Amino acid sequence: MRLVTYDDGLVGELRDDRVAELHVPSMREYFERAEVPRATGREVALEDVRLRAPIVPKKFLHTAGNFREHEDESKNVAWSHEIAPWIVFFQNVDAIIGPDDPVVYPEHLTEELDYELELAVVIRKAGKWFSAEEAADYIGGYVIFNDITARDIQRREMRSGVFSFCKAIDTFCPLGPWIVTPDEIPDPHDLAMELRVNGEPRQVSHSKNMSVTIPEILSHYSALGYSAGDVVSTGTVSGVAGFSDDPASLYLKPGDVMEAEIERIGVLRNPVVSWQEAHGEPAPERVHW
């Protein structure tokens, strides 16, 4: 099953090229309910709806350092800090945007805007303190996440050993295009992953390259407690602009179009626009950190 949020917040099930509306007020409540909501009987063509971010969770947990290939490429460019395993931090859920929504380039804040393709997991039900063997019962679905990052801000933040601002700026959390339920993805560790910018492949990898499994990740973070509909990312793969030989030529700029694709899920597409285009006025004065 593919679950979508569309138009002004309606929830539906994607059936081929049509969306069947479900009788539930939000995607988060879809997972909070003990039973699957019934269809209302109203259907519309997919091409006639505007897809939104499929869910806005109470908690969005980031995993960093899970794909060790990402850590390896950081060493090739002498990145300022070690990317250790099991880095976890929270995302600003107000930064979430959906398919085809623009990522706004805040040129007063950053000159090094980067992309990070990730597979994310939607939590099916509330729970805490469960084992990896029990984790499958908590998986409600899978979704694509593009972890937009301001690298220059990130380097400054990491001097203190933590980072958050660099990934939590408005529009820096594209999520979508829909949630695919586990019955359609029998093995989430067997998925091809690719991110393209203007049609050019930048990140090409595979979910088998995770250093720890999704059940292990979910169990590890269960100490924090989950609510139904929470989202957990699983880390990015190699190929980010900031760890390339020529990052300046690859950093995102207004006019770029990103396509984040994961096998069996789909493609999450987002353009990059200038502050002027997004807000109708020049960007604020440059911030000096």
Domains of the chain by start residue, with CATH: 1-52 (2.30.30.370), 55-279 (3.90.850.10)
Q: What is the arithmetic mean of pLDDT over 89-115?
A: 96
The neighbour count for residue 131, using CB atoms within 10 Å, is 11
Q: What mean pLDDT is predicted for residues 30-41?
A: 92
CA distance 104 to 75: 30
Confidence of residue 78 (pLDDT cuts 50, 70, 90): low
pLDDT exceeds 80 at position 15: yes
- Comparing 69 with 126, which gets the higher pLDDT? 126
* Residue pLDDT, tens place only, 196-251: 999 999 999 999 999 899 999 999 999 999 999 999 999 989 899 988 889 999 99
| Whether pLDDT at 289 is above 80 | no
Q: Which two tokens stand for residue 71?
A: 């850590």
Tell me: pLDDT of 186 over 70: yes
Identify the pLDDT of residue 80. Answer: 56
pLDDT tens, position by position, 123-160? 999 999 999 999 999 999 999 999 999 999 988 887 77
Report the percentage of the chain scoring pLDDT > 70: 93
Whole-structure pTM value: 0.94
Q: What are phi and psi of 160, to 5 degrees?
A: -90, -5
Q: What is the 3-state secondary structure (H, E, C) of 1-27?
A: CEEEEECCCEEEEEECCEEEEECCCCH
